[in-house]
Amino acid sequence: MKKRIKLITAVIAGTAILIGSVWLINESRYPNAPAFDDHFTRKFLDKDKKVASGFYEFKSKTGQYTIWFPEEYQMLHDASEYYFVNGKSYENWSASYRKITGKNKSIYYIKAEFLKNDRKSEPIYVKKLFEEQLKDSNSKEIETSRTRIYYDYAYAYFEGTERQVVHNSKVHLPNTYTAYVADKNSNKVIEFSYDSIGEGTETSQEKRKLWFLTILKSINFSEGKGRE
């Protein structure tokens, strides 16, 4: 009986060691970055494709686009408001990055919403988005070979329950950015936003703007039937 117990114990211990070894080997295959520490986030990222310093390629579960994903962020997925996908026609996701320096706690958010809008009504969609997010229908516009990009930024804060927006960057560095990215060859679009919360989250407007535009310019919509 004792020999049998020892044998079972040895088998269990050996199995545990084997499982642990396999797990360590599997984990070591992923890059040493916060994004890959989260099992949900890593499902969307190509671990072998670090597209630029600080970014990995994100592949949408719709199969309709790719985008550069910042390696320090992790996707939120505890509720449908954070992640939801509907076939090939719709997807929204949010991701965050938290940084604690002494007593200061900073939180950074990005959010992307993929959908399909009528190209003829693009000016209406753009105007509505910027009025809702930044209380200003005017936006900056740039183009890549594949997309039209509308974007703008401001400083936002709450006064009681009322959200206030300041567009004067000399008074406050922007902490909220909004963009509308449209595919030139189809009716596919992505509404993308960035927000930061906390004291001293923004130290350089130019660096943040460059970072934001880098992500927007990286968006690559898949080819195929444009107006499904």
Of 176, 207, 220, nearest in space to 58 by CA: 220
pLDDT tens profile 185-207: 999 999 999 999 998 899 999 99
Residue at 43: amino acid letter: K
Q: In percent, how much of the chain has pLDDT > 90?
A: 74
**How confident is the model at residue 8, as a pLDDT?**
57
* φ, ψ for residue 175, nearest 5 deg: -125, 5
Residues, the chain: 228
H/E stretch holding 69: strand 65-70
122-139 mean pLDDT: 96
What are the residue ranges of helices labelled H in the chain? Answer: 2-28, 34-37, 39-42, 122-134, 205-218
